Amino acid sequence: MGGWERFVDTFFKPALIERYWPAILDGMWVTIQIAAAVVVTGLALGLLLAVIRAYRIRPLTWAIILCVDVLRALPPLVLILLAYFGLPNIGILLSAFTVLWLVLSAVLAAFTEEIVWAGITSIRKGQWDAARSTGFGFTGALIFVVLPQAIRLAIPPLTNRTIAITKNTALGSVIGVAEILNRATTAQSVEGNATPLAMAAIAYCLLFVPVVIAGRWIETRFGWRRA
């Protein structure tokens, strides 16, 4: 067997590709579902926390900072294992899918809060003054004047962070969520061949390369010139 044939046989064996592509495709669908759920809940929750923090109510602010710091400092896999193996011992039974969704949403929310909050604090005081002078209360000024600008500033860093965290859906394979990587490792251990893993890598590329390129585009093109 020549080198090329051996390479193909190891990583791209046609028979295995044919056998497993439906499973990988199913895995992609699961990955998309979790990723979408995480993006929606994570961003919404993070935005809400940043808004709450804007009111500068001491105990709430401290609680938010504490949670955000912990979620930023802990590896998501630690949180996933803690939730998946720890919670049942105190009577809380969650499916692997739910654990993955909750943990990744919480992590994304923490980063979102931090990024949006940085955006809010970077809006000049004059913007608040102008809004208040036209009769907006604090909440009105926040929602209609400050937040739209803060979110705009937050979009480039937020895009990158969101991509990084949705890629963590692969961690679900460790607790048996039937996403791409999980299907691939299962197939690989059955077949004793690297083809399923190569297929997984390609599946992730298919899903995320367009997102990464879109993120790059957003980073350079988004935002407006400041007056």
Partner 1 sequence: MDLLIDQFFNTAIMAQAWPILWRGLQMTLLLCLTAVPLGLLGGLLVALAGRVRALRWTVVALVDLLRAVPPLVLLLFLYAGLPFAGIHLPPFLAALLALGLNASSFYGEIWRAGIDSVGHGQWEAARSTGLGHRQTLTAVILPQAARAVLPDLVSNTIEVVKLTSLASVVALPELLYSADMARSVTYNASPLMLAAGLYLALLWPLVRLLARFEHRSAGSR
Partner 2 sequence: MSSSAARPILEVRKLTKRFGTVEVLKGIDMVVAEREMVFLIGPSGSGKSTLLRCCNRLEEPTSGHVIVDGVDLMAPGTDINAMRRRIGMVFQQFNLYPHLTALGNVSLALRKVLKQSRAQADATARAALEQVGLAARAGAYPADLSGGQQQRVAIARALALEPTVMLFDEPTSALDPELVGSVLSAMRDMRAAGMTMVVVSHELRFAREAADRVVFLDHGQIVEEGPPSQVLGTPTSERARAFIADLLH
* CA dihedral (124, 130, 131, 133) positive or negative: positive
Name the binder of 140 from partner 1, partner 2, none, CB < 5-8 A by kind.
partner 2
Contact code string over 37-76 relative to partner 1, x by CB under 8 A: ----------------------------x---xx-xxxxx
Name the binder of 224 from partner 1, partner 2, none, CB < 5-8 A by kind.
partner 2
Contact code string over 25-44 relative to partner 1, x by CB under 8 A: --------------------
d(CA 150, CA 148): 6
CB 165 within 8 A of CB 38: yes
User: Per CB under 8 A, does 181 bind partner 1?
Assistant: yes
d(CA 150, CA 120): 5
Contact code string over 25-44 relative to partner 2, x by CB under 8 A: --------------------
User: Per CB under 8 A, does 72 bind partner 2?
Assistant: no
The interface with partner 1 within residues 120-149 (CB under 8 A) comprises: 121-122, 124
User: Per CB under 8 A, does 21 bind partner 1?
Assistant: no
User: Per CB under 8 A, does 174 bind partner 1?
Assistant: yes
| Interacting residue with partner 2 among 21, 55, 144, 222 (CB under 8 A) | 144
Within 10 A of 195 (CB to CB), how many other CB atoms are there? 23
Question: At its nearest, how many Å lie between partner 1 and the CB of residue 137?
Answer: 24
Cα angle 23-25-29, degrees, rounded to a multiple of 5: 115
d(CA 224, CA 128): 19
| Interacting residue with partner 2 among 33, 41, 61, 149 (CB under 8 A) | 149
Nearest by Cα to 185 from 175, 177, 169, 197? 197
CB 109 within 8 A of CB 40: no
User: Per CB under 8 A, does 90 bind partner 1?
Assistant: yes
| Interacting residue with partner 2 among 124, 205, 210, 217 (CB under 8 A) | 124
- Does residue 204 come out as left (phi exceeding 0), alpha (psi in the -120 to 50 range) or beta? alpha
Number of residues that bind partner 2 (CB under 8 A): 22
Question: At its nearest, how many Å lie between partner 1 and the CB of residue 125?
Answer: 11
d(CA 116, CA 157): 10
